[in-house]
């Protein structure tokens, strides 16, 4: 990762002008709606959960039209939780999260684009009033995702951080991860969708202003991102879903060459002193209680772990921590974890676990989309 990246970096990690200025211009003035996007990078993820789809359909039309995210990076079961949305844009995910957390929860969206913030704020009171809340349970603040503290986000003040096709636009991705880790309370999670690549992109691609705005030029090689996450403190990054992105623009396709892009939903848990960089076996068992609305019969932690309600499942120490060991994780009310770590039985599964990054079928811009 180039050390020249930063909030005032010019050229080395994006367009020749300040990357923040370019992104603000592209999403605030150049694009008038999601139909103006030149690739399906922001619309490549699969169908959202039926409950999320229903809530999205109830979001004001203007907010949907001005939203440029990929996928639906919102976990169910977050009633009463504090949620932070990085690069909230027109606010679609915040509006859905406001319904999910209920009146006792709270949602904060942070964005640097005045035009998008204006759209997000314009429907806030009417929407939360329609939900029956006595007062709005969400707010939108202006700021950069690399400097959450400057925007008023205190340390250990949120339970779940979400983001939708935004981190790749940052010129300083390590700082974004550090700020997320700082903001999360112990047991919290960074649950987000973004664009990644199967290789490191050449400088010519990284400097193209259209590819930057379309979320491709800033896409990290996924292995570099996972190393970055581990160095930040998110010891065991989890892949929930992967969808292939098709460029569908001859000029841009020629620029990227053989590079392949994917929309990936990651789950990064902050559970200090519990999550190791490898999956280790302590003889632990986890049982899902079936208590999350929308996941009554089973719960999918990632692309390797799917818990059937009531069925005991052998898990690694990392997974035990993610789902509720010692009551730290936000998921702990929904799982029973049996066993502790007094005895170590070696590597979980008896050997190396294969990478979870398997190319998924291509997603077409004309197919199902959450945008």
pLDDT tens series, the chain, 371 aa: 333 333 333 333 444 455 556 555 555 555 454 455 555 555 555 789 999 999 999 999 999 999 987 668 999 999 999 999 999 999 999 999 999 999 999 999 999 999 999 999 999 999 999 999 999 999 999 999 999 999 999 999 999 999 999 999 999 999 999 999 999 999 999 999 999 999 999 999 998 988 988 889 999 999 999 999 999 999 999 999 999 998 888 889 999 999 999 999 999 999 999 999 999 999 999 999 999 999 999 999 999 999 999 999 999 999 999 999 999 999 999 999 999 999 999 999 965 444 455 555 555 433 333 44
Question: What's residue 333's pLDDT?
Answer: 98
Q: Which long-range contacts (CB under 8 A, 24 or more apart) does 295-304 make?
A: 295/76, 295/77, 299/334, 300/240, 301/238, 301/240, 301/267, 302/238, 302/239, 302/240, 302/267, 302/356, 303/239, 303/240, 303/241, 303/242, 303/356, 304/353, 304/356
Question: What's residue 12's pLDDT?
Answer: 37
CATH class in words for 284-350: alpha beta
**Helix extents (H) in 108-172:** 114-122, 124-130
Question: What's residue 164's pLDDT?
Answer: 93
Cβ(196)–Cβ(44) below 8 Å: no
State both tokens at 158. 């949120």
C-beta atoms surrounding 152 within 10 Å: 12
Gap between the Cα atoms of 67 and 6, Å rounded: 26
Question: What's residue 13's pLDDT?
Answer: 43
Those residues whose C-beta lies under 8 Å from the C-beta of residue 240, and which sit 6 or more positions away, are 191, 265, 266, 267, 300, 301, 302, 303
DSSP string, 191-240: EEEEEEESSPPPHHHHT-HHHHHTTSTTPEEHHHHHHHHHHHT--S-EEE
Which residue ranges does the chain devote to CATH 3.40.5.100?
284-350
How open is the CA angle 36-41-45, to the nearest 5 degrees? Answer: 120
β-strand pairing of 362-363 with 335-338: unpaired
Gap between the Cα atoms of 289 and 297, Å rounded: 9
Cβ(97)–Cβ(83) below 8 Å: yes
Give this prediction's pTM: 0.85
Gap between the Cα atoms of 45 and 57, Å rounded: 17
Question: What's residue 4's pLDDT?
Answer: 36
Question: What's residue 24's pLDDT?
Answer: 56
Question: What's residue 38's pLDDT?
Answer: 55
- What is the chain's Cα-based Rg? 20
Which residue ranges does the chain devote to CATH 3.40.50.150?
19-270
**Closest by CA position to 187, among listed 275, 57, 247, 108:** 275
State both tokens at 239. 């892949």
Question: What's residue 32's pLDDT?
Answer: 52
Cβ(260)–Cβ(322) below 8 Å: no
**Which residues partner with 306 through β-bridges?**
300
Q: Which long-range contacts (CB under 8 A, 24 or more apart) does 247-255 make?
A: 247/39, 247/41, 247/216, 248/39, 248/40, 248/365, 249/38, 249/39, 252/38, 252/39, 252/208, 252/210, 252/211, 252/214, 252/216, 255/204, 255/205, 255/208, 255/211
Question: What's residue 356's pLDDT?
Answer: 52
Question: What's residue 7's pLDDT?
Answer: 36
Question: What's residue 247's pLDDT?
Answer: 86
Q: What is the CATH number of domain 19-270?
A: 3.40.50.150
């Amino acid at each position: 990762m180039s050390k020249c990246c930063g909030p005032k970096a010019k050229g080395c990690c994006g367009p020749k002008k300040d990357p923040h200025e370019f992104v603000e211009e592209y999403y605030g003035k150049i694009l008038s709606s999601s139909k103006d996007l030149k690739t399906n990078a922001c619309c490549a993820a699969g169908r959202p959960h039926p409950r999320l789809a229903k809530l999205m359909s109830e979001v004001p039309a203007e907010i949907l039209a001005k939203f440029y995210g990929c996928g639906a990076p919102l976990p169910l079961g977050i009633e009463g939780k504090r949620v932070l949305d990085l690069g909230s844009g027109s606010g679609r995910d915040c509006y859905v999260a406001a319904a999910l957390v209920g009146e006792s929860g709270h949602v904060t969206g942070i964005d640097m684009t005045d035009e998008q913030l204006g759209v997000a704020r314009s429907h806030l009171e009417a929407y939360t009033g329609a939900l029956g809340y006595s007062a709005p349970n969400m707010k939108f603040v202006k700021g950069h995702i690399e400097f959450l503290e400057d925007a008023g986000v205190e340390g250990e003040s949120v339970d779940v951080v979400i983001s939708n096709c935004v981190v790749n636009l940052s010129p300083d991705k390590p700082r974004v991860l550090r700020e997320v880790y700082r903001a999360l309370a112990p047991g919290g999670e960074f649950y987000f969708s973004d664009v990644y690549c199967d290789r490191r992109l050449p400088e010519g691609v990284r400097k193209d202003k259209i590819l930057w705005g379309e979320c491709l030029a800033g896409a990290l090689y996924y292995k570099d991102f996972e190393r970055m996450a581990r160095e930040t403190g998110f010891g065991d990054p989890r892949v929930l879903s992967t969808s292939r992105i098709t460029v569908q623009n001859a000029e841009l396709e020629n620029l990227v060459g053989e590079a392949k892009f994917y929309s990936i939903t990651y789950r990064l848990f902050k559970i200090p002193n519990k999550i190791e960089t490898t999956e280790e076996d302590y003889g632990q068992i986890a049982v899902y209680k079936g208590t999350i609305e929308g996941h009554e019969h089973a719960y999918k932690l990632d692309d390797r772990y799917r818990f059937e309600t009531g069925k005991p499942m052998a898990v690694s120490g990392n997974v035990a921590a993610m789902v509720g060991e010692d009551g730290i994780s936000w998921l702990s009310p929904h799982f029973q974890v049996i066993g502790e770590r007094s005895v170590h039985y070696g590597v979980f599964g008896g050997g190396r676990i294969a990478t979870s990054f398997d190319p998924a079928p291509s997603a077409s811009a004309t197919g199902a989309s959450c945008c």
